[in-house]
Amino acid sequence: MFRLTGLPLQIIAVVAAIAVFAATMWLWPRFGGRTWKDWLGRIGAFLATQLAVLVAMGLIANGYFGFYSSWSDLLGSDGGPGTVVDHRPNAAVAVMGEQRVYSAQGSVRDRSGLIQKIDVHGAATGLRSEAYVYLPPQYFQPQYAKHAFPMALVLAGYPGSAEKLITLMQYPASTLQAIEQKKLPPTVLVLMRPTIAGNRDTECMDVPGGPQVETFFTADLPKALATTYRLSADPGARAVIGNSTGGYCALKFALRKPDAYRSAISLSGYYTAPIDQTTGDLFAGDDRLKQENDLLWRLRNKPAAPVALLLATSYDENNYQETQAMVGAFKAPTMLSTITLDTGGHNFHTWTREIPPALEWLGKHLTVPQEA
């Protein structure tokens, strides 16, 4: 059956709408009379054309924005009432729910994997956030029972949502495909928003006198996840991926805290934190702190970090020139690669084109741990 958010169904709907419109134009002269049959013919043709166009537009909009992720979601048949979750005092991670992952092999978790919705509490920062964890099928297979897995933190842009990383950008599906094609080792994904301090855009900073977001992602999060999942403690087995704001955060975590993440992928990311009404004062007037969070300045002036970076851009992107400056500024032992599309804007369509090669690149840079 065609997936509700899949491109094949959208193409079929568009072709059907064009065919109905063409048929209406062809038949319209035949309904030119004044009999009740002619009136019904005109009304029927008009309604059929409108319905076909609305269905096509609705499917395209749903595929882009991810309003409904499946047929059962659309029809309201996605299960019964919610599940009450009992939390332990001071627990670092609480599992709040699960959902199946579908592939050509079905939805059995040891074939396709599982997505868990969790609540993460940061011991050092006191911050907490919801996240989604994708556990690949190998996580449930007996031969991997004693294995620690590499982890990739995936960050949305601002304001963004973690759900769209699943439904619209399809990270779990792309990761499963890369694993099946042997381009990526079995890897656990942690999908989140970079915005964990209300709706404030902190640019993943430890804000003076404010939320310590960088510490949450680079210290609290890995420690908390290690209490619940079989994850490697080796920084070389940890990566961070992000688009837009998430891309800036990804690069910053690797360059500033290489003991937390050794690989970073930025899709349409920028390289210095903006200051506007969504961020507030991030630097408290401290020019040195502002420099420390300028990634191009870091490449030029700080000792090179032993990390691998992938920067994705296009000739149409606003960050193209700055990306070229980043390429010209890095030095060993930092490794830097790029993806440059011929065309592509700052949007989901561009990023979904970049994700498969980015995951293949990641497969070449992640340390693959063995037994836990």
Read off the tokens for 218: 């680079």
Whether the CB-CB separation of 207 and 134 falls below 8 Å is answered with no
The residue ranges of the chain whose pLDDT is under 70 are 1-5, 63-91, 100, 102-108, 370-372
User: Which pLDDT does position 83 carry in this prediction?
Assistant: 44
Query: What is the tens place of the pLDDT at every residue in 320-371?
Result: 999 999 999 999 999 999 999 998 888 888 999 999 999 999 999 998 876 6
Please report how the helices 36-65 and 7-27 are oriented relative to each other, as an axis angle in degrees rounded to 10. 160
pTM: 0.77
User: Which pLDDT does position 81 carry in this prediction?
Assistant: 43
Whether the CB-CB separation of 286 and 336 falls below 8 Å is answered with no
User: Which pLDDT does position 84 carry in this prediction?
Assistant: 45
Q: Using CA atoms, how far apart are residues 7 and 13, in angstroms rounded to an integer?
A: 10
Query: What is the tens place of the pLDDT at every residue in 125-134?
Result: 999 999 999 9
Q: In sequence order, which ranges of the chain are alpha helices (DSSP H)?
A: 7-27, 36-65, 71-75, 109-112, 162-167, 171-180, 213-215, 221-226, 245-256, 287-292, 295-301, 320-329, 348-363
Q: Which residues contact 15 (CB under 8 A, 6 or more apart)?
A: none
Q: Which residues contact 229 (CB under 8 A, 6 or more apart)?
A: 133, 135, 149, 188
Q: Which SS3 state, helix, strand or coil, does residue 181 take?
A: coil
User: Which pLDDT does position 26 carry in this prediction?
Assistant: 85
Q: Which of 151, 92, 154, 96 is nearest to 122 (CA)?
A: 92
